[in-house]
Chain A
Amino acid sequence: EDQVTQSPEALRLQEGESSSLNCSYTVSGLRGLFWYRQDPGKGPEFLFTLYSAGEEKEKERLKATLTKKESFLHITAPKPEDSATYLCAVTYGGSQGNLIFGKGTKLSVKP
Chain B
Amino acid sequence: GAGVSQSPSNKVTEKGKDVELRCDPISGHTALYWYRQSLGQGLEFLIYFQGNSAPDKSGLPSDRFSAERTGGSVSTLTIQRTQQEDSAVYLCASSQNRGSYEQYFGPGTRLTVT
Contacts and interface: CB of A to CB of B under 8 A. Distances in A.
Given A43-B91, A98-B33, A101-B43, A91 B4 contact: no
Interface residues of B, number: 25
B52 interface: no
Interface of A: 31-32, 34, 36, 41-46, 49, 51, 87, 89, 91, 95-104
B56 A98 contact: yes
Contacts of B98: 96-97
Nearest to A98: B45
Nearest to A100: B45
- Tell me which of A36, A87, A98, A104 has the highest count of chain B C-beta atoms within 10 A of its own C-beta: A98
Given A97-B31, A98-B59, A102-B42, A43 B105 contact: yes
A3 to B, nearest CB: 11
A44 B105 contact: yes
Given A42-B107, A43-B105, A45-B105, A31 B48 contact: no
Interface string B40-62: 11111100100000001001000
Interface of B: 4, 31, 33, 35, 40-45, 48, 56, 59, 91, 93, 98-100, 102-108
Given A43-B105, A101-B43, 7 more contacts: A32-B100, A36-B105, A43-B108, A89-B43, A98-B33, A99-B93, A103-B42
